[in-house]
Chains A and B, each alone.
Chain A
């Protein structure tokens, strides 16, 4: 699949150029010839299973046919009309558990269509060649909607609302929009500053004003916004990293994987980031993999990903696990951290071997110690609900109805802060768009 080498060509430490190369596109875009050949493989299935598998229901056979008939711009419009973040989803979606998993050619030819790569070729083409935004706003409605957070759910919601003629104010705590697309995905999935380019593309429709440095609870309250806007959309994600709850968590060298990834994403010079020599990642999701692979690509000598259950229970897809393995990450399954050891700085992590007994995860008593000068925690994040007092919180997430409406009238929510499908960009986009449509219908009523 063309993954670039993570290793030094000379055997020494990685040069700055080698590190920069390591963080270029994991999969370079398909060539024009590859695009044509791949597109011509598509069977144009009826009621295609790939579409059903996409949370945003992109009409995949249609856009691939448009690519095959040399209408890349039309293909991109088909994609973006369903999913305005088609560019990020083409890069970051775990297609192996979504559209590509359902491709009938898995059965027919043991090789699905490379839907993600084709989608990228179309969207990139449009974004590189278009001089004007492909969609035109409806006439102004005079309504304004306040959107909290500028991640994928919020931006998708804002774009759909702007399209409908509403004006949108987005309140974002951080200095950049994009949410996890900008801060939380592995750099080699979003090479070339794509997250920022996509935000600019989305805003190009007009009618969306992003106010950065505006945090819920610190700079404004939900009540403030309800007084100002005709409707509110909450897309604040889950931003509170879970703690391990074990001794040594406060030692130097122990931090959150998301902070590590954010530092990489925001670095001007990757060679200045010291990944450590013995890196231990604790967790089993895609964030754990992103942190582990990037540590390796920065030049870390030993990277161990420790997960308390087995490969089939990992949140990371098989493809991601394979990616880690081929990048030289050692994955230790069935080990649960007991203590992080060290004086000021972390020196090792002590684990207990685990097993399932009658379906219950149980410690075996056997211990394992792994040397570590860096420990990155990737055991998930929780919703910060302190400033959402009037909303109903269920299972740690904001409770919503099918259209994303919360317990408060005119207040909607979507993305990782609600319980919908997988915690994925594509699901967030689907949520944001659905809420926008519900808000639009409500305002029109």
Chain B
């Protein structure tokens, strides 16, 4: 059985799965239930200076597919609405009760050095393994100059990180907001401020849907709604990209990464690790199914590692990074053709119609004695994969590389890349 232990910012965890700072980690009761279920650690729900904030009702909206699957949650809940002391005493107690589990204290404060330092010291004294700076909350707190209002300004990211580093001797995680044009800017700032690790992504700013009867955004509070923070599997692709950018860029490679963003299955977890994450944080999946999903996360990751021969997380961490490149580094001569397994085909026609209507008219439909037959016209197929993705039958449509014996040629070296476009490209650089 694979070894799921991991190390991030010098902190050793029994497995890479921590619960992110959010309602599931709001108090001792929930956190101890999570530890009983098998979670490796938690980032306690964000603490602020007293008096505590007041939360509204309701707090969550969801984005569903046409069935009952929830693709994402949007929330307008603020940070912990319980007194700081109550939280700190509970943290102390859980640390005693669960010595092998990790607790990170999440915090936020207005942009004043003293406030950050005071709060950081209090939290550190409760015995947490590390401190996470919540610079990402995109609703409510940002209107008070906190959360993403700080995270969107690299200078403030650097300063707040430094302030906390200066007063505590435990690892510091800077949690980044995705609501920014280039994630590398706040990541570099966190690095300069001395962060041991970055945690990302926080939630994506969103209006999740509009109640067409009430004519108001959801979640609706007494007839009115506000933008909130979007999370869940729908944001995973955004998070994967941002994690990869930080992991493959020289200026930010010194940072450990606590990856967050729609991690729902062990596959999601493995993907983040393959793109360089040292550890993982989960929230929405637990909020949709409860803490028991940790069993599938742990066992699935372990079974995957066994199947691939990876003995430790480090054995495959970052293994997909060398293959994560800029578009300009892709091979222009690589040529794929869709191939339809006619025995497996159930004749739904989805491949035909999406290609016919929206792509390259490369799949013909023919009525035969027994039904319908779909055939790829190789000369028209550009290898876009759309048909393969819409096909409901696993492995019915495969993409087969054409043996063309052509060399690996990138766009910068492509004959059609004329001198003018090269010049423009240089300028843009």
Contact = CB atoms under 8 A, between A and B. Distances in A.
A39 interface: yes
Interface size band for B: 10 to 19
Contacts of B346: 104-105, 107-108
A43 B66 contact: no
Interface stretch (B12-20, B179-187, B256-264, B347-355): B347-355
Interface string B238-258: 000000000000000000000
B11 interface: no
A105 B350 CA distance: 13
Nearest to A42: B66
B65 interface: yes
A45 B67 contact: no
Interface stretch (A46-54, A86-94, A296-304): A46-54
A46 B345 CA distance: 14
B37 interface: no
B68 A43 contact: no
Contacts of B68: 36-37, 40
Interface string A423-436: 00000000000000
| Max chain A C-beta neighbours (<10 A), residue from B68, B347, B348 | B348
Given A36-B68, A39-B66, A44 B393 contact: no
Interface string A256-288: 000000000000000000000000000000000
A45 B66 contact: no
Nearest to A106: B346
Interface string B345-368: 011111011000000000001000
Contact of B66 (A47, A48, A68, A105): A68
Contacts of B347: 45, 49, 104, 107
A40 B67 contact: yes
Contacts of A108: 346, 348, 392-393
Interface in B328-387: 346-350, 352-353, 365, 371-372
Nearest to B393: A108
B349 A69 contact: no
Interface in B9-45: none
B67 A46 contact: no
A40 B392 CA distance: 13
A39 B393 CA distance: 18
Given A36-B67, A36-B68, A37-B67, A44 B392 contact: no
Given A46-B349, A46-B352, A69 B66 contact: yes
Interface string A29-41: 0000000110110
Nearest to A68: B66
B365 A45 contact: no
B369 to A, nearest CB: 14
Contacts of A39: 66
A43 B348 contact: yes
A439 B65 CA distance: 46
Contact of A43 (B65, B371, B392): B392
A48 B349 contact: yes
A45 B372 CA distance: 12
A349 B353 CA distance: 59
Contacts of A107: 346-347
A44 B391 CA distance: 11
Contact of B353 (A46, A49, A68, A104): A46
A381 B350 CA distance: 44
Nearest to B65: A40
A47 B357 CA distance: 13
A47 B393 contact: no
B228 to A, nearest CB: 23
Residue among A46, A47, A68, A108 with max Cβ neighbours from chain B (10 Å): A46
Interface in B381-415: 392-393
A232 to B, nearest CB: 38
Given A46-B348, A49-B347, A40 B365 contact: no
A105 B392 CA distance: 10
B371 to A, nearest CB: 8
A45 B350 contact: yes
A107 B392 CA distance: 12
B17 to A, nearest CB: 30
Interface in A35-80: 36-37, 39-40, 43-49, 68-69
Contact of B349 (A36, A47, A105): A47
B350 A47 contact: no
Given A46-B353, A47-B365, A108-B393, A40 B348 contact: no
Interface string B57-76: 00000000111100000000
Contacts of A44: 350
B66 A40 contact: yes
Nearest to B357: A46
Contact of A104 (B65, B66, B348): B348
Contacts of A45: 347-350
Contacts of B349: 45-48
A104 B345 CA distance: 9
A40 B69 CA distance: 10
Contacts of B67: 36-37, 40, 68
A269 B393 CA distance: 52
A105 B346 CA distance: 7
A66 to B, nearest CB: 11
Interface string A297-337: 00000000000000000000000000000000000000000
B68, B346, B393: residue with the most chain A Cβ atoms closer than 10 Å? B346
B373 to A, nearest CB: 13
Contacts of B65: 40
Nearest to A45: B348
B151 to A, nearest CB: 37
13 contacts: A39-B66, A43-B392, A44-B350, A45-B350, A46-B348, A46-B352, A46-B365, A49-B371, A49-B372, A105-B346, A108-B348, A108-B392, A108-B393
Given A43-B350, A46-B352, A105-B346, 13 more contacts: A37-B68, A39-B66, A40-B67, A40-B68, A45-B350, A47-B349, A47-B353, A47-B365, A47-B372, A48-B348, A49-B371, A69-B66, A107-B347
